[in-house]
Each structure stands twice: as structure tokens, then as C-alpha cells.
Amino acid sequence: MNWKHKHLLDIESLTAAEITTVHDTARAFRAVGDRAIKKVPALRGKTVINLFVEPSTRTRISFELAAQRLTADVINFSAEASSLKKGETLKDTARNLEALNADIIIIRHSATGAPHFLSRFLNSSVINAGDGAHEHPTQALLDTFTIRERKGRIAGLNVTILGDILYSRVARSNIWALLKLGAHVTLCGPPTLVPKVFEQMGCRVVYDVNAAIEGADIINLLRIQHERQRKAMFPSLGEYASLFGLNRQRLARAKPDVLIMHPGPINRGVEIDSDVADCSRSVILEQVTNGLAVRMAVLFLVNGGKGPQEVGV
Amino acid sequence: MNWKHKHLLDIESLTAAEITTVHDTARAFRAVGDRAIKKVPALRGKTVINLFVEPSTRTRISFELAAQRLTADVINFSAEASSLKKGETLKDTARNLEALNADIIIIRHSATGAPHFLSRFLNSSVINAGDGAHEHPTQALLDTFTIRERKGRIAGLNVTILGDILYSRVARSNIWALLKLGAHVTLCGPPTLVPKVFEQMGCRVVYDVNAAIEGADIINLLRIQHERQRKAMFPSLGEYASLFGLNRQRLARAKPDVLIMHPGPINRGVEIDSDVADCSRSVILEQVTNGLAVRMAVLFLVNGGKGPQEVGV
Amino acid sequence: MNWKHKHLLDIESLTAAEITTVHDTARAFRAVGDRAIKKVPALRGKTVINLFVEPSTRTRISFELAAQRLTADVINFSAEASSLKKGETLKDTARNLEALNADIIIIRHSATGAPHFLSRFLNSSVINAGDGAHEHPTQALLDTFTIRERKGRIAGLNVTILGDILYSRVARSNIWALLKLGAHVTLCGPPTLVPKVFEQMGCRVVYDVNAAIEGADIINLLRIQHERQRKAMFPSLGEYASLFGLNRQRLARAKPDVLIMHPGPINRGVEIDSDVADCSRSVILEQVTNGLAVRMAVLFLVNGGKGPQEVGV
């Protein structure tokens, strides 16, 4: 299936075949990271701009390194001390960046739909690096890529997503990707953070953590964002940990070859116990490595690449 | 006319022929921005340092990209969290950067004359990226380049600069460049911001916006810097907009093929109405694209390039 | 003597021969800085991450340029706005950076031993860019390199270190390097900042500045960090200057060919008079230039280089 999109805005509008094309392309690029010279000339002379209106060191660095390994030129534009602070509209900021002959603009923004908005008037390719509580498509692509590389398939697997679903763009993108690829998705967390409405998407919603973990092939933990979480959503971090934190005892209910995933940064002792985070079933750091490969793939594809057959590394 | 300056400190000390050499060199480099591979090896292995003591994302990124496209290595040095904060003198900071074998130091500083000061003791080339309310030479070079590319000439054109002239280094550099190139320059704005003394430079000073626009070939709008403007200079943003803001009605007095320019970021509804900013006569985004080409030209020339005949792209 | 360490954590654990290997390699790289094209392909396709948990523009830029000149890809990771602020442990942050296929992680941290800690579980090479008041090995390597290039040797020289020894990682690393290389080290400063215990390392501790300078081949001044110094350590900057500041009169007691060194940024009028800082015996800026060469050497060596014979520039 040849890729044919100019932008990567969300998972919702992708087909299963397109997601698979990203995975296959990422596999080709992952090999680059293991080589002595970790570079390919695929995007030589192209300009990539990281437009991070909402700060994120982790995702920004992953995209920056991905662009560097494709030999692109990268510029980091952060909202602080920028023209956005002087009252410039996002549209004007984006059009100014495009006027610098930007080939690809990667945007993270606190407003849902910001990347879609840009894509309607820019000639540059737009990549969504997280928009509000809406979507974070490269995270879902790297999560499903990690599952596929480890399990050989996604269809038919039991995937449990545990934590703050309501405010999580990671959860939303993962749900879309997993359902399109044929997984059974179970959501679990405090009722305030996991509304029943997610059943309409095709997920199972469960409030008993033991039931949620029972028979799971994959447990994907979401970060409890205690630094910005509305306090009213659950009583305390300690209570969250005791009711929903993943520990050895709860993990025993999952399948023996379960994979434990987390988009990071992890809160040890809150959503995950330290010995679980560091155990052999944890693929959390593998997700980071795969994230780089997936972002190389996405940059390559939106820039006109068709698929893995063109990587030629 | 071969370029022979080691620094670019201001427009005042350039000849018309030298300004034209920058334009011609920029034209050669602008073609690079349209190519699939937007790079030339002209500054390979050279070190360019952005010394931005006064913050500016927009100009900094333009210089950074210009250096990258010339294949230079670029380092961004911002005043925050730097040795300048620890009480180091500007002279010592600059000499330390030079000791890192810097070939070109680009400086933005709130003090008039800071670039000239550095040029007196540095062996590195110095480029002024804006010094206080004094000069911003690359902005004037890109503005006049844009006019020349669109109009084919500058001599004899009626250029109206509208807004805060008094505190504007953009205005000052533009006035020098336009007068040297033979344009008729009209300045307009609130009397508090446009003192009569500018007539001694050879400009016409007008306080009636309609008279200022009448017959204009070019209207160059300056940003009302409401975030740092002294409040006493005009009553309110609304009053400024109603008295001096460029709208359709006022624009009708200009020539039909008038060009509307603005150094950005624009304040929609203050110095310019949205429909005017986005109309076919606006070349605001073209200025951004040309700015990159002009900065490539300036980096190339101060580093020893003679002119467009050496670009060879 | 072939280099065989994967990390550079401190000077204490290096032998004199290993320090000399760094010097010899730095000499080979220093020539690169004088060339028209200041780059060599030694680290092409390698990823270097600057993990600066404690801010430092000066050292960070020196490492960044060193990596660029070796053609490595460099990522700057600063603690502000990063996952460390969200409660992530240093270990998790470092393992996440490593998962991005980082070849070398350069760390500056306020905690003594942070680089050693990382080196125990990372596969990436670790370079200490300053850990608390413990060590700053590349500073000592560049200081001793500068002495050796100027004096032809280090053994037998009288080196006086003057200032805040107690809290200075620069002092500690320099003392180790100088003693290993056979210099006579004298420490001087206010008794509150120069405890007698340093005599156990093999240094002479003197509280009379004239006695300390008498017959010195080298005077290495340490910065009085007035912006973070505990106020109780000495009465005032003025009193420090009058009692310990290096001026012409005091300098006359040193040998005629004395070298004046300072890691920068200097406080003119505090630890050093302006005319002394700028006199012909000062090698302060040479230290900056040599620092770049030393950091290129260190990056080259920890990445598997054996010594100067492999530089081949």
C-alpha cells in the first residue's frame, strides 16, 4: 500500500493498510539506528521546523533526531519569547515559517485541531505532534509498531489501556489505531477519567483493575499528569496507586508473555511499581527507540516517500 | 561592484552600488530556496554564532536557516542563562565566542552601536541583526530587494513608511537605503512618533494619512509595539487604528499597483486591516522568503564572497 | 599510550600518560580550528547529547561546537521544561536518551557523582561536564594542555591556584591533573575557602597572596561566584579584591614569564584587574580555543579513538 498523504494529522483518518505502511517503513529505518553511521540522505536539503507551542522536550528531541538522521536541516521554534507572545495569530506564525521554504512543519499545540487548521492553508507538510486532548498520532504509530514487532501481529490481541483516558491524546490515538488493526481494547481507570462513552468507539470499559488486566496481551499505562491534573478527578496519588497502580500482584493476572508499555515519563510508585517498570516484560525503552524510527518513517512519507521499498538503506 | 566589507554594521555607510550587490547576490541565492535540495556548500566548515542579547525568534531563525543552507555550523547564544547574566562584559563575551574560531558573529543588542563596538576589536565578521533604535540593516536590504524584484527599480518610486518611526531601527535603515537608491520617502504617523527632524535626512514628513498614501508605489507599515511602547505616545490602539491603520478606503488613494509591506509580526486590526494584509497587493510573506535569501547573501559576502558571479548555484 | 576508556568521569582516575594522550590528541585537533574548513568526519553519523541539568552556556557551546566539527549530530537537552521537571528520575531520563541511540551523553549536574552513576548502567559513553563541587575534567585537561603548549612541560612548574578552592570543581580537577603531571601546586585564598585539608592531597596551602605568587610559573585564578556564593565566606567583593585580587603589583612577584589563567567568565576588578586580564602574560582566551580542541579530543577518544595517530587531519 503506497503512502499518499501530504500530512499526518491523526490516526482516525488513516486506514489499517496505511498504518501498516508506516510500520514497514519504520522497520527499514530502525536498522539505521544500529549502524555505525546513523544517517541516510533521504531528506538532504529539506527544512523541518519543530513548532512547539506547548513545550515538550521528549517528543521534540525525538523528531529533531529523526530529521537529523534523514540529513534534513531542523529549526526549533518554541512559543516562549516568540512572535506568538506578541499577539501574532497561529495562522500568521505558520505562514511565516512556510515562507522560509519549510518543507515540513511539526506542530504541538494545546488546542484540538490546530494541525488540521494549518493543513488547510499551508503548502508545507504538517505533522501533528500532539493537539490538546485530541490525538498524538506518532505515539500510537510507535506503540502499535512496538506491539507488532514483539507479537508479530495486532489483530486479536487483548490490549488494556490503564489510567487517565479522558484527557489523553495518547489514549485516543491508540484506541483508533488498535481498533483499526483488529485488537480488543479494554479501558480502565477511575470513572471520572474513563467515561462510559468510549464504549461507542468499540472499547470495553471496566473499572475493576483486576478484570481489566485478566488475560491481557498488552498493558499500556498512561501517565498520571499530577502536575496539571485537575485535583477533583481522584483523591490522591497514593489512592490512585493503591487502586490502579500496576504492581507484581496485579500483573500476574495478565498473560505470561504480556508486554508492559508506557509513553513516558513514568511516575514510579504511582501508575507503575519500580520492579514492574524494570522487569523483562517492560518494553518502555524499546518504545523510545522505535519512536525515533517511526518519526523517521513519517517524515520520509509525508515528504513524498511511498513506503519501505524506497528506503534503500 | 565587488563587495569588500568584512562586517555589515549599518546601511548608512553603504553605497548604492554595494546595496545593489547584496540584492544581486540575494537573487542568486533565492533560487536555492526553490530547489529540491536547498543547500550550497559556500560556508562549509565555517562557524556562525547568533549572539542574541535581545530576544528575537523570527530574525534568529532566518539567520540560522540562512547559515544552514550555506552548510555552515551554527550556534545560538542567547543572553538568558549566559555569562552576560553573571556580569561578564559584552566585550569579553564576544572575545570568548571569537576564541571558539567563530567566523561570523551575528549580534542583536538593545544598545545602539553594539555591533560597531564589536567590530573594532574582533577578527570575526560582525553582522548587525538590530541594535537598539538605530539600524536593522538586513531588514532594509530585504525590503528594498523585495521592491526591486517587484517593481524592477527603486529610483523615483514613492515610498510611504507609516507608523512608529521614532523608535524603529527598521525605519531608520529603510530610510537610508531608499534615499541612497533614489526613492521619494514619505514618513507618516502620530507627531509624537514621527518628529519633523527626519526632514533633514531628505524625507517628507506628513501627519495626514490620506496625504501620505496619495500616489504611493509602496506602503511600508511598521509594527506598533504595544507590548513595549511607552503608553504616553498615543492614546490607545483603537485610536491608532482609526487614525493611521491601513484599510481598504485609505489604500484606494495609493497607486493601483501599490505594494503593501510589513516587517512582521503584524497586528491585525491595529496598523493593518485583515483584508488588506491578505490582499493581492500585500508582499509581506514574500519579504520573509526574500529575507532568507538576503541573509544568505550577507553571510556569503562578509565571509569573503565578492558578488553574485561567485555564487555558482 | 593508547586511550582505552569508554567514559571521561574525572581526572582522579586517569594516569599521567592518559592525560598526555588527551593533550597530544587535542594538539592534532587544534589545527582543524585554524583551517578554512573546520570539520573532520571522525564522528559522522554519531549522536551526541548535551544533558545539562545545571545550566551553562559557555561549556555547552564548547562541547556543541566540538561535536559539530567532528561532524556528529548534537542534541541539547536542558533541564528546564523537561521531563526532569515532571518528576522523572535522572536514571530514567538518561536511559531514555540512550534509547535514542545516543553514542555519547555529556552531563553537567549539581550532584557530585552524577556522571559516575550514569556510567554504571548506560551503554553510551558518558562525559562529565562538571558535577557539583567535585570535578570538571575537561577544564583541567584544557588548562594543563595550555600550560604544556606554552611551557613545553608541566613537571617542576610552580602553579598557584588562587580563589575559591573549596567549592570549585575546576580547582579539584586541576589539582589532580597538575600533581599527576609533576607540578608543585600552591593554593591560596581566604581561609574559609581554602581549608588546610588540601595539604593531604600534596598541595601547599598559603593564606598570604604575596607568598603564594612568589616565583610562580602559572597563576590560575578562580572565579568568585558572587551570584551564588554563600555570603558568610568573605566580607565583600571589595575586600576580596583588595586582599586576593591579582593586580600589577602582586603579579611582579611571579616569574617574568608567568602565565595568567582563568576558566572564565572573569570578574574584572574582583579576582583580576583589567590591565592584568588583558596583558601579554594572560592566556585566558587561548584556554577557550584550546578547550574546543580538548573537547574534540575527548569526544574522539571516548568514541573509540586510540590517540593522535588516528586523527589523520
Chain A residues closer than 8 Å to C75 by CB: 61, 64-65, 68
Q: Is the pLDDT of residue B298 over 80?
A: yes
Closest CA in chain A for residue C76 = A61
- pLDDT for res C88: 87
Smallest Cβ–Cβ distance between A288 and the set C73, C89, C99 belongs to: C99
Chain A residues near any Cβ of chain C (below 8 Å): 33-39, 55, 57-58, 61-62, 64-65, 68-69, 226-227, 264-268, 285-286, 288-289, 292
Provide the 3-class DSSP secondary structure of residue C177. Answer: helix
- pLDDT for res B82: 65
Residue matched to cell numbers 551575528? B106
d(CA A225, CA A267): 9
CB spacing of A83 vs B58 below 8 angstroms? yes
Closest CA in chain C for residue A66 = C100
**pLDDT band at residue B84 under the 50/70/90 scheme:** confident
Strands of C259-261's sheet in order across: C204-206, C184-188, C158-162, C218-221, C259-261
Angle C16-C21-C24 from CA coordinates, rounded to 5°: 125
Smallest Cβ–Cβ distance between A45 and the set B36, B266, B267 belongs to: B36
For the segment B71-92, the average pLDDT, to the nearest whole number, is 83
Which one-letter amino acid corresponds to residue A228? R
CB spacing of C292 vs B101 below 8 angstroms? yes
C115 preceded by a cis bond (ω within 30 of 0): no
Smallest CA-to-CA distance from C139 within C112, C172, C161, C114 is with: C172
- pLDDT for res B237: 86
Q: What's the CATH number for C16-135+291-310?
A: 3.40.50.1370
Transcribe chain A into DSSP letters: -----S-B--STT--HHHHHHHHHHHHHHHHHHTSSS----TTTT-EEEEEESS--HHHHHHHHHHHHHTT-EEEEEESTTSGGGGT--HHHHHHHHHTTT-SEEEEEESSTTHHHHHHTT-SSEEEEEEETTTB-HHHHHHHHHHHHHHHS--TT-EEEEES--TT-HHHHHHHHHHHHTT-EEEEES-TTTS-GGGGGGT-EEES-HHHHHTT-SEEEEPP--TTTS-GGGSS-HHHHHHHH-B-HHHHTTS-TT-EEE--S---BTTTB-HHHHTSTTB-HHHHHHHHHHHHHHHHHHHTT--SGGGT--
Whether the CB-CB separation of C218 and C158 falls below 8 Å is answered with yes
d(CA C294, CA C154): 17
Whether the CB-CB separation of B253 and B214 falls below 8 Å is answered with yes
The correct answer on CATH 1.10.580.10 for the domain covering A16-135+289-310 is no
d(CA A58, CA C41): 28
A64 vs A56, higher pLDDT: A64
- pLDDT for res C196: 95
Distance from CA of C243 to the nearest CA of B (A): 21
The gap between the terminal CA atoms of chain B, to the nearest Å, is: 20
Chain B residues near any Cβ of chain A (below 8 Å): 33-39, 55, 57-58, 61-62, 64-65, 68-69, 226-227, 264-268, 285-286, 288-289, 292
Residues 6+ apart with CB under 8 A from A14: A5, A137, A176, A177, A180
The residues pairing with C105 across neighbouring beta strands, listed in sequence order, are C49, C126
The residues pairing with C128 across neighbouring beta strands, listed in sequence order, are C107
Give the tens place of pLDDT for each residue, C110-150.
999 999 999 999 999 999 999 999 999 999 999 999 999 99
Rg for chain A, CA atoms, rounded: 19
B16-135+289-310 and B137-288 have identical folds: yes
Which one-letter amino acid corresponds to residue B193? L
d(CA C130, CA C3): 21
Smallest CA-to-CA distance from A30 within A69, A71, A3 is with: A69
Give the tens place of pLDDT for each residue, C233-275.
777 888 899 999 999 999 999 999 999 999 999 999 999 999 9
Angle A286-A287-A290 from CA coordinates, rounded to 5°: 85
Which contacts (CB < 8 Å, 24+ apart) does range A199-204 have?
A201/A175, A203/A175, A203/A179
> Does the structure's ipTM exceed the value 0.90?
yes
Closest CA in chain B for residue A87 = B267
Q: Is the pLDDT of residue A14 over 70?
A: yes
- pLDDT for res A87: 78
Chain A residues closer than 8 Å to B64 by CB: 75
Smallest CA-to-CA distance from C286 within A219, B100, A253, A194 is with: B100
**Number of residues that this document lists for chain C:** 313
CB spacing of A92 vs B292 below 8 angstroms? no
Smallest CA-to-CA distance from C278 within B95, B238, B42 is with: B95
Whether the CB-CB separation of A126 and A118 falls below 8 Å is answered with yes
Residues 6+ apart with CB under 8 A from A85: A79
Smallest Cβ–Cβ distance between A38 and the set C47, C83, C87 belongs to: C47
Smallest Cβ–Cβ distance between B65 and the set A47, A86, A95 belongs to: A47
For residues C58, C64, C67, C73, the Cα torsion angle rounded to the nearest 10 degrees is 170
Q: Is the pLDDT of residue B235 over 90?
A: no
Strands of A204-206's sheet in order across: A204-206, A184-188, A158-162, A218-221, A259-261
Along chain C (313 residues), what's the average pLDDT of each consecutive run of 10 residues?
95 98 97 89 96 90 97 89 75 96 96 97 97 97 98 98 94 98 97 94 97 98 72 78 95 98 94 96 98 98 95 72
Smallest Cβ–Cβ distance between B55 and the set A44, A81, A98 belongs to: A81
pTM of the model: 0.95
Class of domain A137-287: alpha beta
Chain B residues closer than 8 Å to A73 by CB: 38-39, 65, 68-69
Chain A residues near any Cβ of chain B (below 8 Å): 44-47, 73, 75, 77-78, 81-83, 86-89, 92-93, 95-96, 98-101
Which helix H or strand E contains B173, and what residues bound it? helix B169-180
Residue positions of B annotated with a catalytic role: 58-59, 86, 108, 136
CB spacing of A83 vs B268 below 8 angstroms? no
Smallest CA-to-CA distance from B109 within B101, B100, B98, B118 is with: B118
Chain A residues closer than 8 Å to B33 by CB: 101
The C-alpha cell that represents C26 in the structure block: 587535542
- pLDDT for res C151: 98
CB spacing of A92 vs B265 below 8 angstroms? yes
d(CA B9, CA B129): 9
**pLDDT band at residue A277 under the 50/70/90 scheme:** very high
**Mean pLDDT of all residues in chain B?**
94
Cβ pairs A/B, distance under 8 A? 69
Residue positions of A annotated with a catalytic role: 58-59, 86, 108, 136
Chain B residues closer than 8 Å to C55 by CB: 81
- pLDDT for res A224: 83
- pLDDT for res A82: 65
Specify the DSSP class assigned to residue B223: P
Smallest Cβ–Cβ distance between C99 and the set A35, A38, A289 belongs to: A289
d(CA B55, CA B60): 8
Chain C residues near any Cβ of chain B (below 8 Å): 33-39, 55, 57-58, 61-62, 64-65, 68-69, 226-227, 264-268, 285-286, 288-289, 292
CATH superfamily membership of C137-288: Aspartate/ornithine carbamoyltransferase (3.40.50.1370)
- pLDDT for res A304: 96
Residues 6+ apart with CB under 8 A from A70: A39, A40, A41, A42, A43, A44, A46, A296, A299, A300
Chain C residues closer than 8 Å to B73 by CB: 38-39, 65, 68-69
- pLDDT for res A80: 66
Angle B194-B197-B202 from CA coordinates, rounded to 5°: 100
Smallest Cβ–Cβ distance between C264 and the set B44, B73, B96 belongs to: B96
- pLDDT for res C56: 85
Whether the CB-CB separation of A290 and A146 falls below 8 Å is answered with yes
Strands of B158-162's sheet in order across: B204-206, B184-188, B158-162, B218-221, B259-261
For the segment A102-126, the average pLDDT, to the nearest whole number, is 97
Q: Is the pLDDT of residue B234 over 90?
A: no
Is C57 in the active site? no
Domain positions in chain B = 16-135+289-310, 137-288
- pLDDT for res B78: 83
Distance from CA of A22 to the nearest CA of C (A): 19
CB spacing of C37 vs B44 below 8 angstroms? yes
Distance from CA of C37 to the nearest CA of B (A): 4
Within 10 angstroms of residue B133's Cβ, the number of other Cβ atoms is 17
Closest CA in chain B for residue C277 = B92
Smallest CA-to-CA distance from C251 within C284, C280, C288, C292 is with: C280
CB spacing of C82 vs A264 below 8 angstroms? no
Smallest CA-to-CA distance from A158 within A214, A205, A221 is with: A214
Chain C residues closer than 8 Å to A68 by CB: 47, 73, 75
Residue matched to cell numbers 552531563? C107
Strands of C47-52's sheet in order across: C73-78, C47-52, C104-109, C125-131
Query: Which chains are within 8 Å of A by 3+ CB pairs?
Result: B, C
Q: Which of C70, C84, C86 to mutate to probe the A interface, most A CBs <10 Å?
A: C86
Rg for chain C, CA atoms, rounded: 19
